[in-house]
Structure 1
Amino acid sequence: MLSPASFLGFLSSPWHSLWHHRRLLIQLCKRDLTARYKSSVLGLFWSLLLPLLMLAIYAFVFGEIFKSRWGDAPAPSSISEKLNFSLILYVGLIVFNWLAECLSKSPTIILNHASYVKRVVFPLEILPVVPIVIGAFHFLMSFVVFVIFTSFSPIEITTYWLLVPLLLVPYLLCLIGIAWILCSLGVYFRDMEQMIPALTSALMFLSPVFYAVQVLPVAFRPWLMANPLTFIIETLRNLLIWQKCPPATTWICFYFLALVLFYVGHACFKKLKRGFADVL
């Protein structure tokens, strides 16, 4: 049984590590962004252009080709209705893309920096956080695009938008916890690199990114709601588009689960980190 001092150390350890190495984390993120857009003509402008292109493509595919509609609403006909429909899809997509960044980079990030494990005294726990911060940057750029196009749609900017950071903070903690788990397991199970793309694709269609929860048969809805991504996507849409807010108990449960995943991920990483040098 943990003593009070040990328990407090367990609670403070991940926060202390992230804060103590914050400057190194910022430098690694800057290096990653610089390397990603190095030698490109538009540079960081791609972080704004890509979400814009993504919005246009999905608006054309789902609005013009498939003639999709949202839930029980009629198919959009006017330009403003089509833009509104596209923005609804876009909200789910930018939430999912942040998770996809985490899933695609985390399993191999320790393997790609094996020299840090073998030769250098390095805070390895900050490596999996780098793609999460990069994903947060791209989410922010995508959100800027959303705000710009909101001014041309029926969507109103209300005080509910102020609650968005309260949703993104626990989502950030969840992603960090997932990244710690995946990167530590990825060192021992190399097949994860092959499994993750299939899992990511499946998760996209098992989450309400391109459809409303209401269109599913009632028997399948509890399974969809068991997906934590469903709550995040639906809540963000409710706050930004439909001016609705979940009850306080739902927020409390979400924060609790996010903290549990955050601490479990850190404990898993610390436990498995001891064998990294032997495996690599």
Structure 2
Amino acid sequence: MSIYIQNFKKFRPLLGELIARDIKTKYRKSVLGVLWTLLNPLFMMIILSVVFSNLFKFDVEYFPVYLLSGQLIFNFYSEATTASMSAIMDNGPLLKKIYVPKYLFVLSRVFSSTINLLASFTALILVMLAMRVELHYTVLLVPIPLIFIVLFSLGVGLILSAITVKFRDIMHLYSVFVTALMYLTPVIYPMSILPAWLTPIVKLNPITNILQMFRNVMIYNSLPSIASMIIAIVECSIMLVFGLYVFYKNQDDFILYI
């Protein structure tokens, strides 16, 4: 373990450069640049709030805040895992020239998405202040669900990056999967409107637990329950360990496919 820690410390400056490169590449030639990380969720919140709050008449207090909080968590998962899929392939030329710990490329994609997550969180705070939603002391606990979603996404990202090198069709299949997953996550709708047979299925979605924890501390002045914490820890640990295992078992073959 000490060897891995020393190796990470040695290449930590490179990780910082990779994160900076990912962010610059995403907003290259954009007039507003990183400001889009604030504007994108705000624009989507306005559109979806108008459509869903009027069309379906959801009885949710401060629905724009409810919606934006759901978008914040799910959009991060979607962005981080989707970007991680191509992390190894995009850096193939570099891997062919010098030795670099391959997991750094996945880490850089997830961490650059985390910066966007923090910017979206700032947008959420601004919306809450604009709508005069009370900020409770439980907001101080918001790092807990955010750390959970980052770790869970990292585990998924490691798996996807490893298998996509060999099976490129995963990139197309995963976009369909993410769309389906969004509808099985209470991003737009409240859990109370679900039929009895669908509720257990939505609860089995690991993102649902993290999202509800995030909303509880942000909006509802509610502490995370012990059960939800244990479930999140178990889910994130399993996904992260499994992701590291899959990545480690396949990383030596990457050079044959990139």
Same-fold call, TM cutoff 0.5: yes
1:61 to 51, 62, 65: 51
C-alpha distance after superposition, 1:200-242 (max 9, x if no partner): 1111111111111121112221111110011011111111111
Whole-Å Cα distance in 1 between the matches of residues 3 and 152 of structure 2?
17
- Following superposition, the deviation at residue 272 of structure 1 comes to 0.3
> 2:145–2:211: 8 Å Cα contact kept in structure 1?
no
C-alpha distance after superposition, 1:86-105 (max 9, x if no partner): 11011111111001112322
> 2:77–2:149: 8 Å Cα contact kept in structure 1?
no
Is 1:195 paired with 2:196?
no
- Following superposition, the deviation at residue 40 of structure 1 comes to 1.9
Larger C-alpha radius of gyration, 1 or 2? 1
- Following superposition, the deviation at residue 61 of structure 1 comes to 2.0
Tell me what 1:261 maps to: 239
Tell me what 1:184 maps to: 162
Whole-Å Cα distance in 2 between the matches of residues 237 and 27 of structure 1?
33
Residues paired across the two proteins, number: 258
Tell me what 2:219 maps to: 241
Whole-Å Cα distance in 2 between the matches of residues 197 and 34 of structure 1?
24
Tell me what 2:27 maps to: 37
Whole-Å Cα distance in 2 between the matches of residues 185 and 173 of structure 1?
19
> 1:98–1:139: 8 Å Cα contact kept in structure 2?
yes
Letter in 2 for 1:95: I
- Following superposition, the deviation at residue 119 of structure 1 comes to 2.1
- Report the CA distance shift for 1:30/1:151 in structure 2 as closer, same or farther (over 3 A): same
C-alpha distance after superposition, 1:231-274 (max 9, x if no partner): 01111111111112232243133223312221221121111011
> 1:187–1:276: 8 Å Cα contact kept in structure 2?
yes
Tell me what 2:76 maps to: 98
- Following superposition, the deviation at residue 22 of structure 1 comes to 2.6
Whole-Å Cα distance in 2 between the matches of residues 21 and 180 of structure 1?
18
> 1:224–1:230: 8 Å Cα contact kept in structure 2?
yes
Q: TM-score, normalised by structure 2?
A: 0.92
- Following superposition, the deviation at residue 14 of structure 1 comes to 6.6
Unaligned 5+ runs, structure 1: 1-8, 74-80
Q: TM-score, normalised by structure 1?
A: 0.85
- Report the CA distance shift for 1:18/1:99 in structure 2 as closer, same or farther (over 3 A): farther
